[in-house]
Amino acid sequence: MNTLYPILRFTAAFALSASALLGAVAHAANATAIFAGGCFWCTEADFEKLPGVIAAESGYTAGQIPNPTYEMVSAGRTDHTEGVRVTYDPAKVTYSELVEYFWKTIDPSEKDRQFCDAGTQYRSGIYWGNEAERQIVLASREALKKTGRFKTIYTETEPASRFYLAEDYHQDYYKKNPLRYNYYRLSCGRNAQLDRIWK
């Protein structure tokens, strides 16, 4: 009994370590992508419907002023835009598929606005994290341009910069406040405009 006890302790410790390692590897296998599609409540809700997306977080990106707040950004006092950071499983959905999905959630022909929200803080954008993603984004934009669906595409396509998480009350807003969210989305005309331009 005394002889077996150290062995059992070692085996249990090894099992726990292996489990933790596998968990870390699985977590590391996830990837992130940053998009801006106007109101981040809506963009977050749209992406969290997509199979393979683990989570979408609302925040501020593509700006230089550190530690922006909602009051600052929404008033246009910074150069940030409202965006979302999408965490996804590349084995279930690819970066290219995220980009193609994103186009259908915005109006690329609108400059410095999306739907009823106007100002540079609501400009649309795709922000790549590496060279492979850059090529995917630019190729996708060029393919969309060639369709002739839009006379001009104003969606920003730039390298990703620091992403600042928005305040807690903005996260999962569509889940926490479904009545207010659905009223806002309807009154903003987002779905109606998307149906019209992408039909």
Q: Where are the beta strands (DSSP E) in the chain?
A: 31-37, 53-61, 81-88, 113-114, 117-118, 124-128, 156-159, 164-165
Catalytic residue among 39, 42, 116, 188: 39
Short-list 111, 104, 86, CA closest to 140: 104
Residues forming a β-bridge with 124: 37
Structure tokens at 113: 């606005």
Short-list 69, 82, 80, CA closest to 40: 82
Residue 79 has, within 13 A of its CA and on its CB side, a CA count of: 7
39 as an active site residue: the answer is yes
Q: What is the DSSP letter of 153?
A: -
**Alpha carbon 109 to chain centroid distance?**
20
Catalytic residues: 39
